[in-house]
Structure formats: C-alpha cells, structure tokens
Amino acid sequence: MLFTHALVRPPADSFSRAISSNAAQIDVALAQRQHAEYCQALRAAGLTVEALPPDERFPDSCFMQDPAVVIAGRAIIGRPGAEGRRGEEVALAAALAGRFPLHQIVAPGTLEGGDVLVLPDQVVVGRSARTNAAGIAQLAVALAGTELPVYAAQVEGYLHLLTAVTRLDDDSVLAVEGWPLPPPLNGLKVLVVPQAEAYAANVLAIGARVIIPAGYLRVGAMLAAHGFEVLPVPMTEFVKADGGVTCLSLVW
C-alpha cells in the first residue's frame, strides 16, 4: 500500500511513565531524538509528515497508531483498551475531521489500531487485551459499503496483532516464526521472522520501502533480498514501552 501522509506526535516528557510490561527506564531525551530520526525515515519513504504537539497528559500519546485508523477513506476513532490512554483519541479526531468521515467506537467496544491489519481485500482485527469483540463489530459497521470484510483473529502472547504480523505488500506479510497464522491470511506469502528477532516483525511498509527497527540484521537482509529498500530506525526507548515502528504514526 502506498501511503502519502503520516500524522505523528513527539514523546512528551511524561513518556517516562508510559505503560510498559518491563521495568526498563526510558530515556526521554533519547526517545525524542529517535522520534526525529523516525520522522526523517517517513519523509525518506515519500510521506508528508504532520506533527501534533506533545501532550503531557498522556504518557503514551506518541503511539499515534492506536487511537485511530484510516481505512478506505474513512477515519475510525478508537476507544483504547488501556483506560489510561482514553482521551488521546480526541486530538486525533480533531486533526482528521474535515479530511475523512469520522466513525467513533463507543462503550463497551474497545479498538486499538495496533490490532488492525488492513489488506487489499479484507481487514483482519486482533481480539486482544486491548481490542474486544464489540469494538470489532463496530468497526465492521463503520466499514459497511467499502467491500472490505472484517475478520477477527485471536491474539495471545502478544500485545497487539501487529506485534506478530505486518503487511508488506498486496501479496505478502511478515510474521513471527511459530505464530499461528489466522485463517483469513491463508494464501498470502509469509516471510518468517526468527524468534531471536521477533521484535522486527513489526515493520511499516510504504510501497517498496520498509521502515524497520535498527539492529535486526537478519530481518533487514531478508527484506532486502525480496527487493525492499530497508530504512532502519533506532527504537531502543520505544521498545521499553512495548511500542514498534507502526505504533509511532497514523498513516493514510
């Protein structure tokens, strides 16, 4: 899929208190520099990058993918499964209003963009700790008339669906070794990420260019061998908050 725009938000100073599954201390100043490098990679991939100002109220607000998704010319404003992140979606809704028709996920539904895998002919949504069945059902209603069926896929052992699998092009995905591919993905070519580099299963493909976390040489070499231009970016501070490269931007 060839995106043209990316909406980002630099980490606020409060990013040191971001939700995390580990006790690693986040270096916020380094995260802010890494975010700037990430934005440079987005531009190198041909995207127009727009930035919202940091929001100290929400430590996780640099992870722009989760509060909203843009699919088939429609913006779906999510309802985060993490209660501490509820409210982040307000600024995204304001930024997207006037560009796209807006559809809002409401209680009891939860939906985070990290669980939404958009393919040319379908949308696969992870049913995870952050996205529930009610949210998936509301997404299906929001996409009525787009000819994009919505399928649910159970996610276990990973924060989001896109932690385990990401789209590369119309015919292929990148997935962690040993991860059970959901039935809707059967028939696609799968490039397998070795367990030792599982973090690099989360990549952002923009046409022939792919943004990947720096330091994952086997995945980078595999993608290059398949004809992609690899754009590595440092992610050491974002992985401490369980974030990957797709998490840092809302693209359309």
Catalytically active residues, by annotation: 160, 247
Written as six digits, the tokens of 39 are 């934005």
How many other CB atoms sit within 10 Å of the CB of residue 105? 26
Contact 54, 10 (CB under 8 A): yes
Closest-CA residue to 155 (of 201, 210, 220, 187): 201
Written as six digits, the tokens of 68 are 């909203």
Q: Where are the beta strands (DSSP E) in the chain?
A: 5-8, 48-51, 68-71, 74-77, 102-104, 116-119, 122-127, 150-154, 165-167, 172-176, 189-193, 204-206, 209-213, 229-233, 250-251
How many other CB atoms sit within 10 Å of the CB of residue 247? 26
Written as six digits, the tokens of 114 are 């990290």
Q: Phi and psi (nearest 5°) for 183?
A: -50, -35
Burial class (CB in 10 A: 0-12, 13-18, 19+), 6: buried
Cα–Cα distances in angstroms (integers) from residue 4 to residues 23, 43, 72, 190, in the given order: 36, 10, 14, 25
Closest-CA residue to 169 (of 194, 147, 191, 139): 191
